[in-house]
Amino acid sequence: MPRETAWGIILKKYDKLYIGGSWVEPFGARVIEVLDPSSEEVIGTVPEGDRLDIKAAVAAAAQAFDSWSTAGVDTHAAAIERLQRGVLARQQELAETICSELGTPLSLAQSVQVGLPASVLGSFAQLVRQQKWEERIGNSLVVREAIGVVGCITPWNFPLHQVVLKVAPALAAGCTVVLKPSEVTPLTAFLLAEIVEEAKLPPGVFNLVSGYGPEVGEALASHPDVAMLSFTGSTRAGRRVSELAAQTIKRVALELGGKSANIILADADFKKAVSSGVQNCCFNSGQVCSALSRMLVPRERLEEAGQIAREVAEGLVVGNPRNSSTRLGPLVSAAQRDRVRAYIRSGIDEGAQLLTGGEEPPEGLDRGYYVRPTVFSRVREDMRIAREEIFGPVLSIMPYKDEEDAVRIANDSAYGLSGGVWSEDPARAERVARRLRTGQVSINGGNFNPLAPFGGFKQSGNGREFGKFGLEEYLEIKSLQL
């Protein structure tokens, strides 16, 4: 039964999985405890699924596929619109749940963690009606159709948004879905399953199995009846998913890590560019794959950039995510906090100049998984904090000698997910942006566009999400020779 914790949070206890349109008993008896990262208290439990649960979920999805894939565009769009209405109707509950299990400040949870996926649902309801499903080429009729059963494995940093980015286009395309959410923040996915049930989607179209990657994730990735696997997470885990999926030659879409560079050219509005860059790096406590965690500045303006960055970072309020003044909540777990602190130690040990932040917890926040916003300057290209994804509020400021050098440094990375360029000359900024080997570049702080494609080059993955590009990932192409 629900109870109040010391922090006033309702304990959510889920003991069933959502498979075949019903809440069913899992095959095993083990549970996963969900912690509030601000208090370290248990705030909920979900079942720890296993391979037998995945087998049942895939069977349900496969059984539902024929009727759902041929149900028609209007049926698919209407179902997604019902999901959107359901999300909006429970927006506050979803935001409070995300605030509690992830630590995102409540105001940001409302506007971004829930507001954005609600908008994305609406966009796919429209896009599926606009999609060109067939075309005549010579004596051939080329048709697009749903690829089949889709396995979705999602991360913890955007527990509703990353799910919707996969489930919405997959359902719109006519696919059926088996979702494995992160075991760290699974409560939001169970709320979404309740919304699916309320929206009366046909049985088996959406299935939810919670559990750990080595058991549930690997079973889903290797199942022969799964036609496609969409995964968002670490590059290491993405490699493993690809290996397993290759055994049955299934399509794989991967959105993986990043170490994105933010190039501030000499003619930029420095105060605006540096301030924006710090806030970008620290958004969601730095737990963003596309965070601009490398700030590249002209060597002669390194001290100026450092001073601005330090002032901005020190002005970011870290604290209880339920307080209206809080900009940065805790990191999601003790393991993540310790990982970020280890990178901060590495930066100090390797000789980077620590301008603000550090390993110690913020004052008065000894309980909870908090890390101070940290800014390093004089960061060399060979340092770990310059090359590896930290996934925390840690900014590395790196000097360059000229524009050519800036582009070289930015592209000297195993990753290629995002990037930024700042210049008072828009043509110059665009010229530099075109040279960056990355899937998305923000020019002078250009706003995020949920209809534009998002995805990476190199080890940041393959495939694209958002907009028509995200929908097309879930479609197969067939030629009818007439």
At a CB cut-off of 8 Å and minimum separation 6, what does 447 contact?
Answer: none
The answer to whether residue 455 is domain-embedded is: no
Phi then psi for 25, rounded to 5 degrees?
A: -65, 135
pLDDT in tens, 305-337: 999 999 999 999 999 999 999 999 999 999 999
pLDDT in tens, 386-423: 999 999 999 999 999 999 999 999 999 999 999 999 99
Q: pLDDT > 90: what percent of the chain? A: 97
The answer to whether residue 1 is domain-embedded is: no
Cβ-count burial of 325 within 10 angstroms (0-12 exposed, 13-18 middle, 19+ buried)?
exposed
Are residues 198 and 83 part of one domain? Answer: yes
Give the pLDDT confidence score for residue 79 in this predicted structure: 98
Give the pLDDT confidence score for residue 6 in this predicted structure: 44
Are residues 55 and 198 part of one domain? Answer: yes
CATH number, domain with residue 294: 3.40.309.10
pLDDT band, very low/low/confident/very high, at 14 (cuts 50, 70, 90): very high
Give the pLDDT confidence score for residue 10 in this predicted structure: 58
pTM assigned to the model? 0.96
pLDDT in tens, 171-213: 999 999 999 999 999 999 999 999 999 999 999 999 999 999 9
Are residues 236 and 324 part of one domain? Answer: no
Cα 153 → chain centroid: 11
Question: What whole-number distance in Å separates Cα of residue 461 and Cα of residue 49?
Answer: 27
pLDDT in tens, 448-480: 999 999 999 999 999 999 999 999 999 999 999
How are beta strands 294-298 and 394-400 bridged, if at all? parallel
pLDDT band, very low/low/confident/very high, at 9 (cuts 50, 70, 90): low
The answer to whether residue 250 is domain-embedded is: yes
- Report the pLDDT averaged over residues 353-377: 96
Are residues 310 and 217 part of one domain? Answer: no
As a whole number of Å, the CA-based R_g of the chain is 23
* Domain count for the chain: 2
The answer to whether residue 4 is domain-embedded is: no
CATH number, domain with residue 114: 3.40.605.10
CA nearest to 206, candidates 158, 156, 171, 161: 171
Are residues 474 and 439 part of one domain? Answer: no
Question: What whole-number distance in Å separates Cα of residue 26 and Cα of residue 44?
Answer: 17
Are residues 194 and 146 part of one domain? Answer: yes
Are residues 173 and 32 part of one domain? Answer: yes
Give yes or no for residue 85 having a pLDDT over 50: yes
Are residues 270 and 168 part of one domain? Answer: no
Half-sphere exposure (CA, 13 Å, Cβ side) for 404?
A: 0
Cβ-count burial of 474 within 10 angstroms (0-12 exposed, 13-18 middle, 19+ buried)?
buried
Question: Residue 44 is part of which domain span?
Answer: 12-256+461-481
Give yes or no for residue 2 having a pLDDT over 90: no
Neighbouring CB atoms inside 10 A of 402's CB total 12
Q: Where do we find the tokens 């100049």?
A: 353
Residues known to be catalytic: 255, 289
Give yes or no for residue 427 having a pLDDT over 60: yes
pLDDT band, very low/low/confident/very high, at 1 (cuts 50, 70, 90): very low
Residues found in the chain:
482
pLDDT in tens, 52-62: 999 999 999 99
Note whether 309 and 358 are within 8 A (CB).
Answer: no
pLDDT in tens, 238-264: 999 999 999 999 999 999 999 999 999
The answer to whether residue 3 is domain-embedded is: no
How are beta strands 17-19 and 22-24 bridged, if at all? antiparallel
SS (H, E, C) 340-404: HHHHHHHHHHCCCEEEECCCCCCCCCCCCCCCCCEEEECCCCCCHHHHCCCCCCEEEEEEECCHH
β partners of residue 458: 415
Are residues 237 and 180 part of one domain? Answer: yes
Are residues 290 and 239 part of one domain? Answer: no
Are residues 357 and 208 part of one domain? Answer: no
Question: What whole-number distance in Å separates Cα of residue 104 and Cα of residue 157?
Answer: 9
The answer to whether residue 235 is domain-embedded is: yes
Are residues 302 and 279 part of one domain? Answer: yes
pLDDT band, very low/low/confident/very high, at 11 (cuts 50, 70, 90): confident
The answer to whether residue 114 is domain-embedded is: yes
Note whether 433 and 447 are within 8 A (CB).
Answer: no
Token pair for residue 67?
């009727």
pLDDT in tens, 119-167: 999 999 999 999 999 999 999 999 999 999 999 999 999 999 999 999 9
The answer to whether residue 146 is domain-embedded is: yes
Token pair for residue 87?
């999300």
pLDDT in tens, 110-131: 999 999 999 999 999 999 999 9
Give the pLDDT confidence score for residue 4 in this predicted structure: 52
Q: pLDDT > 70: what percent of the chain? A: 98
